[in-house]
Chain A
Amino acid sequence: DAKTTQPPSMDCAEGRAANLPCNHSTISGNEYVYWYRQIHSQGPQYIIHGLKNNETNEMASLIITEDRKSSTLILPHATLRDTAVYYCIVRAPYGGATNKLIFGTGTLLAVQP
């Protein structure tokens, strides 16, 4: 699976949009971009995933560049409860035989009041 690069930490003011970048310059044509987050002392939580088109759900939006070498996760109105480590993961369809996730160290997003 392709390696991803994320900033180690970011701050965001409560109520503002949080834009979390991820670089995946070696992504293959059939690999998806997934985002998970992990709130302190909890298990990771799925947020969103996409292949090449922008995606939106009730939690966030995912913007993938046309060349697919980078993406941005957008939390439109960050709250204090969004403070967490956010992981960007690229994965082949069906994750290979196992569908396993390969996590990096993620971005610690601190939402400030």
Chain B
Amino acid sequence: DTGVSQDPRHKITKRGQNVTFRCDPISEHNRLYWYRQTLGQGPEFLTYFQNEAQLEKSRLLSDRFSAERPKGSFSTLEIQRTEQGDSAMYLCASSFRAGNTEAFFGQGTRLTVV
């Protein structure tokens, strides 16, 4: 399978713990995005990378959230000191840089904070 891969698919954590999610984009895509989706809502943009550079962060991305994309390949999203409000589906997407090309999404990581 050469699509966008996310790991883990599900994560249950206790409030206050740190969690880290991984995204492996389609190999030739240099743009990578993170979105968050809560129940009944559409995905909300969190942050964007072009190669290894993080070029935009949403105001939704509080100080407890950090994302990296070392070497412009896979990306990680870390949430520190998780809160119950962080419970959501975290989606990763990738695309080519130029043109009106579509984004390809992974299956997401569902986070439940108890």
B25 touches A (CB below 8 Å): no
- The reply to whether B91 and A98 form a contact with Cβ atoms under 8 Å apart is no
**In the complex, which residue of chain A has the Cβ closest to the Cβ of B110?**
A41
Which residues on the A side are within 8 Å of B103 (C-beta)? Answer: 46, 99, 101
Which residues on the B side are within 8 Å of A105 (C-beta)? Answer: 40-42
- The reply to whether A100 and B43 form a contact with Cβ atoms under 8 Å apart is no
Could you give, for residues 85-114 of chain B, a 1 whenever the CB lies within 8 Å of some chain A CB and a 0 otherwise? 000000101010011101111111000000
B65 touches A (CB below 8 Å): no
User: Which residues of B from 49 to 69 have beta carbons under 8 Å from A?
Assistant: 55-56
- The reply to whether A44 and B31 form a contact with Cβ atoms under 8 Å apart is no
**In the complex, which residue of chain A has the Cβ closest to the Cβ of B96?**
A99
Q: Which single member of B44, B95, B104 contacts A99 (CB below 8 Å)?
A: B95
Could you give, for residues 74-113 of chain A, a 1 whenever the CB lies within 8 Å of some chain B CB and a 0 otherwise? 0000000000010100010110011111111110000000
Which residues on the A side are within 8 Å of B106 (C-beta)? Answer: 43
Q: Interface range on chain B: under 10, 10 to 19, 20 to 34, or 35 or more? A: 20 to 34
Distance between Cα atoms of A44 and B21 in the complex (Å) = 18
Which residues on the A side are within 8 Å of B91 (C-beta)? Answer: 43-44
Distance between Cα atoms of A107 and B41 in the complex (Å) = 11
Q: Which single member of B41, B45, B48 contacts A102 (CB below 8 Å)?
A: B45
- The reply to whether A44 and B43 form a contact with Cβ atoms under 8 Å apart is yes
- The reply to whether B107 and A100 form a contact with Cβ atoms under 8 Å apart is no
**In the complex, which residue of chain A has the Cβ closest to the Cβ of B4?**
A43
A68 touches B (CB below 8 Å): no
**In the complex, which residue of chain B has the Cβ closest to the Cβ of A50?**
B100
User: Which residues of A from 21 to 66 have beta carbons under 8 Å from B?
Assistant: 32, 34, 41-46, 49
In whole Å, how far is A80's beta carbon from the nearest beta carbon of chain B? 20
Give 13 pairs: A residue, B residue, CB < 8 Å, sorted on A.
A32-B100, A43-B93, A43-B106, A43-B108, A45-B105, A97-B56, A98-B33, A98-B48, A100-B33, A100-B48, A101-B45, A104-B42, A105-B42
A residues near B (Cβ < 8 Å) are 32, 34, 41-46, 49, 85, 87, 91, 93-94, 97-106
